[in-house]
Structure 1
Amino acid sequence: MEEKNVREIRDSKALAAIAHPLRHRLLDLLHLDGPATASLLAEKTGQAVGNISHHLKVLAASELIEEAPELARDRRERWWRRTSSAIKWGAQDFPDDPIAEAAEVLTLDHQHAVARKWLASRDTYPPEWRGALFSIDGWARLSIAELDELNDRIVAMLAEYRDRSQPDDGAERRPVFVAARASLGQP
């Protein structure tokens, strides 16, 4: 299944760019909040503007973000936006590459960090939000073809919500992080 507006990572340079925790966070912010300047991103992350500028340049060099000059009020102001709504990569595309191993670990760390942050702060959210969030896991015996089909279905379902125009129905919408991972193993 071909997903629209997905950047497939095939080179180590781009993979290293997205594996860095701050750059990963910058990509998340640009996705959720839309285009931003280094100053705006520095405010949101608590980082120095110069540090954010450096990381934005790394992301731009890997074509993960691009300038949005139409948003600038003058020639000094630089706005940045993501070049795709999603990023896809697989360790199998980077055989014997230590960057892929590090990226796998950092991605899993990121997923766990988001979940731990939620658990630590869940009492600060309204009960209806606490009751709506979920966690699910389970075992299934699958062939490679079935695992590919499952992946395609999860990706398509997430894309349906991620890439849609926000409905104008008055419902409150908050950022929700959804992670799915398939791992071989034994219970």
Structure 2
Amino acid sequence: MTGKERDRRITDLGTLKALAHPLRSRLYRNLAVARVATASQLAEQVDEAVSLVSYHLRKLAEHGLIEAAEPRSADGRERWWQPASEGLSIRDEDFRDAPDEAAAHTAASKLFADQRMDMYRRWLEERGSWDEKWNRTASSSESTLRLTADELAELDREMLALLRRYDEQSRAAEAAGETEGRQNVAVHTYAFPFRV
């Protein structure tokens, strides 16, 4: 892990709204995957004009979600960006006190869920182009458990600890030059109560 904050907790409505813009959330996700990138690189990934992407990156920076990174090339005209923290945390308890905040949190949560589902749908459409090993190891599962709220909180902590361990291992391996065979892997989990 770097010297960055592990998970920045978003507690203010302005920052939540800044991130909940569809293009900004895509840019943030792509930047988190790349770890550092220029507006030009991100514009190519999202198929938008560099000027538009630059504008939205500045908005993310205004809210402390991303920050300037050390230049990775000799071209001093290009500005490099990186996430300002290792991850983000958005909790219901920080937005439930006012109806407008609760509505914004719900809208943001739906946007993020839609974008995650779009990633999974894209995998389903493209999996034929991946080799058999990736197809064999990719997974989708659903488990239905009967837990207390405290047990659910503990499950969440344990799952996050496991993911962080793998993230730290992969960052250390990449820093040591061990990049062969590595691909970006999305792990989406949802844990919530429901009634039948």
User: By the TM > 0.5 criterion, same fold?
Assistant: yes
User: CA–CA distance in 2 between the matches of 1:154 and 1:109?
Assistant: 22
User: CA–CA distance in 1 between the matches of 2:72 and 2:178?
Assistant: 28
User: CA–CA distance in 1 between the matches of 2:71 and 2:44?
Assistant: 22
3-state SS of 2:85 partner: coil
Structure 1 unmatched ranges of 5 or more: none
- In structure 2, relative to structure 1, the CA distance for the partners of 1:69 and 1:128 (3 Å cut) is closer
Indicate if the aligned counterparts of 1:9 and 1:88 stay in contact, CA closer than 8 A: yes
User: CA–CA distance in 2 between the matches of 1:77 and 1:115?
Assistant: 32
Question: 2:136 corresponds to which residue?
Answer: 131
Shift of 1:77: 2.5
Shift of 1:71: 4.1
Q: Indicate the percent of aligned positions where both proteins have the same amino acid.
A: 34
Read off the aligned partner of 2:181 and give its amino acid letter: E
Residues 109-139 of structure 1: CA distance to partner in whole angstroms, max 9, x if unpaired?
Answer: 1111111111111111111101100112111
User: CA–CA distance in 2 between the matches of 1:17 and 1:161?
Assistant: 29
Indicate if the aligned counterparts of 2:71 and 2:79 stay in contact, CA closer than 8 A: no
Shift of 1:20: 2.2
Higher mean displacement: 91-100 or 122-131? 91-100
Aligned pairs for 1:83-98 (under 5 A) are 83-95=84-96, 96=99, 97=101, 98=103
TM-score, normalisation: structure 1: 0.90
Indicate if the aligned counterparts of 1:91 and 1:104 stay in contact, CA closer than 8 A: no
Higher mean displacement: 29-38 or 149-158? 29-38
User: CA–CA distance in 1 between the matches of 2:182 and 2:137?
Assistant: 12
User: CA–CA distance in 2 between the matches of 1:169 and 1:30?
Assistant: 21
State the Cα RMSD in Å.
1.8
Indicate if the aligned counterparts of 2:38 and 2:81 stay in contact, CA closer than 8 A: yes
Q: Check if 1:26 corresponds to 2:41.
A: no
3-state SS of 2:105 partner: helix
3-state SS of 1:163 partner: helix
TM-score, normalisation: structure 2: 0.86
Aligned pairs for 1:173-184 (under 5 A) are 173-184=182-193
3-state SS of 1:153 partner: helix
3-state SS of 1:172 partner: coil
Structure 2 unmatched ranges of 5 or more: none
Shift of 1:158: 1.3
Aligned pairs for 1:75-114 (under 5 A) are 76-95=77-96, 96=99, 97=101, 98-114=103-119
Question: 1:122 corresponds to which residue?
Answer: 127
Q: Check if 1:142 corresponds to 2:147.
A: yes
Indicate if the aligned counterparts of 1:37 and 1:78 stay in contact, CA closer than 8 A: yes
Read off the aligned partner of 2:113 and give its amino acid letter: L
